Structure 1
Amino acid sequence: MNDLFATLALEPARETLAEGAMLLRGIVLPFQDRVLPALRAVIGQAPFRHMVTPGGYTMSVAMSNCGAAGWVTDRSGYRYDRIDPETGKPWPALPSSFLDLALVAAKEAGYPNFRPDACLINRYEPGAKLSLHQDKDERDFSHPIVSVSLGLPATFQFGGLNRTDPIRKYALLHGDVAVWGGPSRLFYHGVTELKDGHHGTLGRMRINLTFRGAF
């Protein structure tokens, strides 16, 4: 385990990343006995798939969604859609355990009025990564992003409003939640290549639940 992860024991339970952005350590753990079965049920209805970007690149991260709308990408662009293009059906409803977790995390980070209507579910397997990007397909940027980490540890990159701004790196473990909004809502962020390993519950993968106000 590298130094980034080894220092976690010395870090506070709540860490400020930037103005409007906070990292909440282990806040998922009281919810996981409800969240993990709900996750399996959602994936049973809307299986993971590797989406293609408008430029024709197949993403290394596999994705699914739940809620009133789901984030999708294909040759025609990035967007939210109420229908799963693979099943032709509405995305699975947002489980109550997901909503409870998102509301608690958002309130702890200073966003008591957040009410997500979409949850993007990402599956990282060893070697998968997510390049620096902004979450800007939502209609209203007043809503924060609530990003939940489950499974294998990952390295989160958090920058600024410009792609060339300095990047800070943070270790994310099972149960951690990053929340950003307000002045940092459009900050660039990403995840470096996931290292191989084994998590006691999820095995050789990391799951990321990203709650958004899409509409």
Structure 2
Amino acid sequence: MTADLFAADRRHVALDPGALLLGGFALDEAPRILAAIACIAARAPLRHLETPGGRRMSVAMTNCGEAGWVSDRSGYRYAAHDPLSGLPWGAMSPLFRDLAVRAALAAGFPGFAPDACLINRYEPGARLTLHQDKDEAFHTAPVVSVSLGVSATFLWGGQARGDKVRRHVLHHGDVVVWGGPARLTFHGIAPLPVDAHPLTGPLRYNLTFRQAR
């Protein structure tokens, strides 16, 4: 049973000091966000990146903003240009930036200035193993993560890979923000179940905003 099911109010579910689940925070913007994702993907198609170890990621990814997160045999890093086209990533829209800034503020992190938005597309069975978001130049700014489409199980661990993992279901429109003492918490997504959502069909989309540079 997931911890957030017992919360009387899912609008603010504390995961840890510095980490907050904002239930339904992005619901009003969801249709416009999904339309914007389609435009972003037309310029920089969603693709399955390769890990430094040569494994194909099950999650398809693209980016917008001044920097985009990429991975290949050379390692994990941020790049100003899409390696597929050589073009700069598309600009981050005011819609995206405003949502990320408001979510960070609601979680107690004023002054968030995201310059990178990683967009993930999950198909049934896709997953994201436990990891830390640590490729950014500084870790003083929070991470803002927006969930759209099919519900997924969010894996929330600790500061070491072997720490106990808690599970929280993320629904369409939920936003998770973590920073401060929780900034380098290990986290991931369990394999996406076979399900359907009226706006995305069998898919889940995740937007992760960061200050990369």
Q: TM-score range by the shorter chain?
A: over 0.9
SS at the partner of 1:156? strand
> What do you get for the CA RMSD once the two structures are aligned?
1.5
| Contact persistence 2:51–2:57 (CA under 8 A) | yes
| Matches for 1:171-210 after TM superposition, within 5 Å | 171-210=169-208
Pairwise CA distance, 1:10: 4.5
Rounded Cα–Cα distance in structure 2 between residues aligned with 1:20 and 1:204: 32
Q: Deviations over 1:142-184 (max 9, x none)?
A: 0100000000000001111100111111000000000000000
| Contact persistence 1:38–1:97 (CA under 8 A) | no
Q: 2:13 aligns with which of 12, 15, 33?
A: 15
What is aligned with 2:53? 55
Q: Which amino acid aligns with 1:177?
A: V
| Contact persistence 1:8–1:171 (CA under 8 A) | no
Pairwise CA distance, 1:201: 0.4
Rounded Cα–Cα distance in structure 1 between residues aligned with 2:97 and 2:34: 13
Pairwise CA distance, 1:5: 9.6
What is aligned with 2:35? 37
What is aligned with 2:157? 159
Pairwise CA distance, 1:40: 1.2
Pairwise CA distance, 1:11: 4.3
Tell me how many residue pairs correspond in the alignment. 213
Rounded Cα–Cα distance in structure 2 between residues aligned with 1:8 and 1:91: 41
Q: Does 1:71 align with 2:81?
A: no
Rounded Cα–Cα distance in structure 2 between residues aligned with 1:212 and 1:77: 19
Pairwise CA distance, 1:87: 1.1
SS at the partner of 1:36? helix
Q: Does 1:144 align with 2:160?
A: no
TM-aligned CA distance change 1:4 to 1:157, over 3 Å: same
Pairwise CA distance, 1:31: 1.5
The two structures have a TM-score, normalised by structure 2, of 0.96
Q: Which amino acid aligns with 2:99?
A: L
Pairwise CA distance, 1:34: 2.6
The two structures have a TM-score, normalised by structure 1, of 0.95
TM-aligned CA distance change 1:112 to 1:124, over 3 Å: same
Pairwise CA distance, 1:4: 4.0
- Unaligned residue ranges in structure 1 (runs of 5+): none
Give % identity: 54
- Unaligned residue ranges in structure 2 (runs of 5+): none
Q: Which amino acid aligns with 1:60?
A: S
| Matches for 1:95-174 after TM superposition, within 5 Å | 95-174=93-172
Rounded Cα–Cα distance in structure 2 between residues aligned with 1:49 and 1:19: 34
Q: Does 1:80 align with 2:78?
A: yes
